[in-house]
Copies of this chain bind each other. A is one copy, B any other.
Amino acid sequence: MTLSEEDYIKAIYHLGKNENTTVSTNAIADRMDTKPSSVSDMVRKLSEKGIVNYRKYKGVSLTGTGIKTALALVRKHRLWEVFLVDKLNFSWDEVHEVAEQLEHIKSEKLVDGLDKYLGHPEVDPHGDPIPSKKGEFKKSIKKLLNEVPIGTKGVCVGVKDSSPPFLKFLDKKQISLGDTILVLDKEEFDASLHIKIKGKGIHISNQIAANLYLKITE
């Protein structure tokens, strides 16, 4: 399996999102920053290898083998992201490019060792789930913080209101993208929230919560 083949497999996997969705040549070319003609060539090759299902002009989808390969790559990518953030103090937004390289390293022992060393994490720093060795993983969805039930745990992945005052407020409260948030309790009176973030509990208004996106795995 070459570098390039692996990149195509990942692209097809991410574009196919939900299931065995069939993906268009142009979509792949766009995502990979290459030309449709190159995609045609590679897709034919992957098809001959039994990694994708392909009918000319009709789009492409991953076979069982293809999905397994894709999940192994995603697993590696996300484990490395956890490593970079947890152990080497990379920040949320610096990890992707490096993980993109690291995911191509071939060594089963390395991946297993890393997984164990990191304590078998279930999500990466962006809140996306990490497939198990067998390829199992939970789906994750994005919701506004004020819409989730008590007890929900997730990663803060975005803001709805991106005005400077709001961002400044978040900064003051020490809430940053990538932080894990646990919803402890809700006030009935004003729908304000008690949450746990960075190890300590804080109290935020419903209005704040209504502008924070949480990625949760269910």
Chain A residues with CB under 8 Å of chain B are: 84, 87-90, 94, 97-98, 101-102, 105-107, 109-110, 113-114, 116-117
Task: Kindly state the separation between the CA atoms of A113 and B94 in the bound complex, as whole angstroms.
Answer: 13
List 24 A–B pairs whose Cβ atoms lie within 8 Å, in order of A's numbering: A84-B110, A84-B113, A87-B117, A88-B109, A88-B110, A88-B113, A88-B114, A88-B116, A88-B117, A89-B113, A90-B109, A90-B113, A94-B109, A97-B107, A98-B105, A98-B107, A98-B109, A98-B110, A101-B105, A101-B106, A101-B107, A102-B102, A102-B105, A105-B105
Task: Kindly state the separation between the CA atoms of A113 and B117 in the bound complex, as whole angstroms.
Answer: 17
Q: A84 contacts which chain B residues (CB < 8 A)?
A: 110, 113
Q: How near does chain B come to A119, taking the closest CB pair, in angstroms?
A: 13
Please name the residue on chain B nearest to A113 by beta carbon: B88
Task: Kindly state the separation between the CA atoms of A121 and B78 in the bound complex, as whole angstroms.
Answer: 27
| Copy total for this chain | 2
Task: Kindly state the separation between the CA atoms of A146 and B87 in the bound complex, as whole angstroms.
Answer: 40
With A84-B113, A88-B117 given, can you name 19 additional A-B contacts, CB distance below 8 Å?
A84-B110, A87-B117, A88-B109, A88-B110, A88-B114, A88-B116, A90-B109, A90-B113, A94-B109, A97-B107, A98-B105, A98-B109, A98-B110, A101-B105, A101-B106, A101-B107, A102-B102, A102-B105, A105-B105
Task: Kindly state the separation between the CA atoms of A94 and B108 in the bound complex, as whole angstroms.
Answer: 12
Q: A88 contacts which chain B residues (CB < 8 A)?
A: 109-110, 113-114, 116-117
Please name the residue on chain B nearest to A88 by beta carbon: B113
Q: A94 contacts which chain B residues (CB < 8 A)?
A: 109
Task: Kindly state the separation between the CA atoms of A117 and B87 in the bound complex, as whole angstroms.
Answer: 7
Task: Kindly state the separation between the CA atoms of A81 and B97 in the bound complex, as whole angstroms.
Answer: 22
Please name the residue on chain B nearest to A116 by beta carbon: B88
Task: Kindly state the separation between the CA atoms of A94 and B109 in the bound complex, as whole angstroms.
Answer: 10
Q: How near does chain B come to A113, taking the closest CB pair, in angstroms?
A: 4
